[in-house]
Amino acid sequence: MNLEKIDTSYWLTKDKTWVEQRKAQWPAIEKVVGLNLNKAEVNVTKAYYLRGKMPNWGKYRDWEDLFRPLDLMLFLWLHPSEDPEVLKPLYNTYMESDLIHPDDVTKGYVLFIENELRNAITTKKKLKDYSFPYMGKKNITLFRILFVDIEYAKAKAASLVSPKSHEDKIGYNIGYLNFTSIWQWLMQDLKLPQAADCLYQYDEVLDWCLTTFNEKNEQEFLTSLEHKVNQTLYQKALYCIYHFDQEKGEVSCRSRALVKVRQLLDDNDFVPEFKQMWEGIKSGEIEVKNPWKRR
């Protein structure tokens, strides 16, 4: 399989019901992809979504626009299949292709993290007001594909980008940088689809967030603590995790995730400053102002 000729049998273009369902879903997707692309590039994305038509990769290989009509996230998300056995070979083909632009990979990773871990904890009350891709439970399938071998992904990204842009573009792939947003998930109404399908409920996502508070990333973590706002965010996340009221009897994906994350925080060896922060929260030594206030 190569990127120019993938298996398009998953696009059931002769099935009228399937086609109508895809067409009905497109306006919500267009609202998202059209934020940063002009009409011609949006049509490239649309052709892939509806018919499985590949872009003119040669044109976009040398196109220097920051936003891409079929970056890695869009390529996997908009594919009709949700089967990891189908999507994983497509990921491998994409990553190893010489047809792609470096930003197709790096932007794809960044957008996935932004949409599924940072924007998914929105306060929006209705899905129609949620102006980011809504992947449903396909998000964990894609996480498992994108992050099962994060060292490979980081090495690949690093080989594609210049040293100047290296840190900014692949920095989102370090799990602990996405740990602090978990407290906002604890404040969401679980009746919201984006809350019920939030990635923070899954063991491997929590492992990815927390096991990266290690010696390898210690200096970067300590540097981040030089900014008081970052210290406050870590303390706020830990406070909400420890004090979240489970006495109300909530039995949900969220309550189960909290059991997992508290165990990780208690049992694992972390950067000493982070471990001390957790112990200080539990003992009450560290006070957090307005912990349940979003702003």
Looking at the predicted structure, is the pLDDT value of residue 166 above 60?
A: no
pLDDT over 90 for what percent of the chain?
45
Q: For 91-150, how does the pLDDT look when each residue is reduced to its tens digit (9 = 90+)?
A: 999 999 988 888 888 889 888 988 888 888 776 666 666 666 678 899 999 999 998 887
Closest listed residue to residue 137, CA positions, set 118, 110, 116, 153: 116
Buried b (16+ CB within 10 A) or exposed e, 198-210: bbbbbeebbebbb
C-alpha 243/C-alpha 97 separation (Å) is 48
pLDDT grade for 167, boundaries at 50, 70 and 90: very low
The full length of the chain comes to 295
Burial of 104 (0-12, 13-18, 19+ CB in 10 A): buried
The C-alpha angle 184, 140, 111, rounded to 5 degrees, equals 70
Closest listed residue to residue 32, CA positions, set 111, 140, 149: 111
Closest listed residue to residue 157, CA positions, set 69, 76, 88, 94: 94
C-alpha 156/C-alpha 143 separation (Å) is 17
Q: 159, 167 in Cβ contact below 8 A?
A: no
C-alpha 190/C-alpha 185 separation (Å) is 9
Looking at the predicted structure, is the pLDDT value of residue 294 above 60?
A: yes
Looking at the predicted structure, is the pLDDT value of residue 80 above 60?
A: yes
C-alpha 265/C-alpha 270 separation (Å) is 8
- Whether the CA torsion 151, 209, 255, 187 is positive or negative: it is negative
Neighbours of 9 (CB within 10 A): 10
C-alpha 95/C-alpha 92 separation (Å) is 5
